[in-house]
Copies of this chain bind each other. A is one copy, B any other.
Amino acid sequence: MRTILLLVTVLLSFLNITAQNQVERWRIYEIVLNGNSKGNPFTDVQLSAKFSNGEQEKMVSGFYDGNGIYKIRFMPQVIGSWTFTTSSNLKSLNNKKGKFVCFSNKVNNHGPVIVKDTLNFSYSDNKPYFPFGTTCYAWVHQGDSLAELTLKTLSNGYFNKMRMCIFPKDYDWNKKEPLLYPFEGKALANWDFSRFNPAYFQNIEKRIAQLDSLGIEADLIVFHPYDRWGFSKMDRMTDDLYINYIISRFAAYKNVWWSMANEYDFMRDKKMEDWNHYIQLFAEKDPYNHLRSIHNGSVMYDQTNPLLTHVSIQNEDTYRAKELRIRYKKPIIYDECRYEGNINWSWGNLTALDMVNKFWRGVTNGGYVGHGETYLTENPIKWGNKSDAEMWWSKGGILRGQSQERIKFLKNILESAPGYLTPVVNYDYWMPYSALAYKDEYFLNYYNMDQPRCQIVNLPKNSKYKAEIINGWDMTITPVEGEFSGKSLIQLPQKPLTAIRFTKIVN
């Protein structure tokens, strides 16, 4: 095998092209072409490849990766034999052909996340996916040692999605210059927006791949307003060039999601038609139809746009997921419901208890919720907004809070349910409580921050259920003695974050 691979590589190399002869399903098949760097290879050279397995064809754009090297990345979604032919206006890149075999995905590779049955998500192999995301906006721009620490923290399995910016970030406590810039030119002044810096994007790719190896989706934020370099004010042509470039580079990574913006409405130089255009562009150009969303500051985007695959929201009222899923008929993610932390901004000083409650209320109302953490550790606090501080929400590193373990606990509860759960209609208009059900087999009732000593629950009369009392803060699951059927009185421990789980007893 090794010999054959070597032989193919050598042969292709002789033909000015390098590519492997096999690839795992949903992994990256990469063609490397040696061209030249005359003129502006980013704008002068058109490059693409047509991939075919005899039944379907995929057109995939290539990109210039510096040093005269061009690449085409393809993520095959179907196993079997594939062939490709390149097209380019640069003769040395044109009409290159090759073939390879796509073999079955291995056990931990479930493929890209897709929308499942309108309101939920699954991986492409049908395994359910319940997003429990976090936010480290600028973690890829902090250098290797902090990024490695971030990955170590993430390896604890708290989260399976990461919101992260492609561009560097300028904001309170985020004032250092990034190590790399996305364009050639001089910082703050003379960017050549027509020339990308491949090293910048290679670094992001490395991080995307590392997230993937931890089972974490990379929710890439394409534009954001926290900017002192001019990347939030580029013209439409530059934006399009940039979008095409990141699609060509990143789309073959199975764990990529596209978030058009963070707080789109805070970007003064963009108009509504710009956002519609970007959404359209991703829908047209991404060969794999990765998930697309747009995140708001204060004014929610028109989430009825059919090209948005799911609803991404900044709002703390996560319990409203139940009404939003009906209104939009899409999965609902409260990507930002405020963060656990202690900073002066109200969006960053939730207690861990509140954060965990927002997760539970969102989830038990049929939505999903995102985490972030903003703890300042200096004592006393100084006039810090202009200085730098290491906070998870922006730079990654370590987590100092208490919500992440509880979020993981809730994630495990959801993942161990017998199937996708559906919100149950409330029994009382006044009751702010929520409940999820799977058919008549499983019920999960949640009682918020309240402290009931008991609850009366209406179970189906024709079946018997075992009951467990769950505490979302203590992370305890305590069986209740007895079997329950019909209208049932359950004793509770009079504690916030209490839930009851009922499971049908099958004889």
Q: Using a CB-CB cutoff of 8 Å, which residues 111-147 of chain A contact chain B?
A: none
- Are A454 and B496 in touch, CB under 8 angstroms? no
- Is A452 an interface residue when CB atoms closer than 8 A count as contact? yes
Q: A298-B429, A381-B489, A429-B298 are in contact. Are A454 and B344 (CB under 8 A)?
A: yes
- Is A273 an interface residue when CB atoms closer than 8 A count as contact? no
- CB neighbours (8 Å) of A453 from chain B are 342-344, 349, 376, 381
Which stretch, A241-249, A326-334, A430-438, touches the partner chain B? A430-438
Q: A351-B451, A496-B351 are in contact. Are A431 and B346 (CB under 8 A)?
A: yes
Nearest chain-B residue to A341 (Cβ)? B451
Nearest chain-B residue to A496 (Cβ)? B351
- Is A14 an interface residue when CB atoms closer than 8 A count as contact? no
- Are A450 and B346 in touch, CB under 8 angstroms? yes
Q: Which of A345, A454, A494 has the most CB atoms of chain B within a 10 A radius of its CB?
A: A454
- CB neighbours (8 Å) of A354 from chain B are 449-450
Q: How many residues of A contact B (CB 8 A)?
A: 36
Q: How far is the CA of A351 from the CA of B493 in the complex (A)?
A: 13
Q: How far is the CB of A484 from chain B (nearest CB, A)?
A: 14
Nearest chain-B residue to A384 (Cβ)? B454
Q: Using a CB-CB cutoff of 8 Å, which residues 142-182 of chain A contact chain B?
A: none
Q: How far is the CB of A431 from chain B (nearest CB, A)?
A: 5
Q: Using a CB-CB cutoff of 8 Å, which residues 196-250 of chain A contact chain B?
A: none
- Are B456 and A347 in touch, CB under 8 angstroms? no
User: Copy number in this complex?
Assistant: 2
- Is A54 an interface residue when CB atoms closer than 8 A count as contact? no
A367-387 vs B, Cβ < 8 Å mask (1 yes, 0 no): 000000000100011110000
Q: How far is the CA of A311 from the CA of B406 in the complex (A)?
A: 41
- CB neighbours (8 Å) of A298 from chain B are 429-430
A405-447 vs B, Cβ < 8 Å mask (1 yes, 0 no): 0000000000000000000000011111100000000000001
- CB neighbours (8 Å) of A455 from chain B are 344
Q: How far is the CA of A449 from the CA of B352 in the complex (A)?
A: 11
Q: A298-B429, A298-B430, A351-B496 are in contact. Are A343 and B452 (CB under 8 A)?
A: yes
Q: How far is the CA of A447 from the CA of B344 in the complex (A)?
A: 10
- Are B380 and A346 in touch, CB under 8 angstroms? no
- Of B344, B349, B429, B456, the residue contacting A344 (CB under 8 A) is B456
Q: A298-B429, A430-B347 are in contact. Are A451 and B342 (CB under 8 A)?
A: yes
Q: How far is the CB of A471 from chain B (nearest CB, A)?
A: 14
- Are B381 and A342 in touch, CB under 8 angstroms? no
Q: How far is the CA of A53 from the CA of B380 in the complex (A)?
A: 67
- Is A350 an interface residue when CB atoms closer than 8 A count as contact? yes
Q: Using a CB-CB cutoff of 8 Å, which residues 286-345 of chain A contact chain B?
A: 298, 316, 342-345
What are 14 A-B pairs at a CB distance below 8 A? A342-B453, A343-B454, A344-B453, A344-B454, A344-B455, A345-B428, A346-B447, A346-B450, A349-B452, A350-B450, A351-B450, A351-B496, A376-B453, A380-B454
A interface residues, Cβ below 8 angstroms from B: 298, 316, 342-347, 349-351, 354, 376, 380-383, 428-433, 447, 449-456, 489, 491, 494, 496
Top-8 shortest CB links A-B: A342-B453, A381-B454, A349-B452, A349-B450, A346-B431, A344-B455, A342-B494, A380-B491
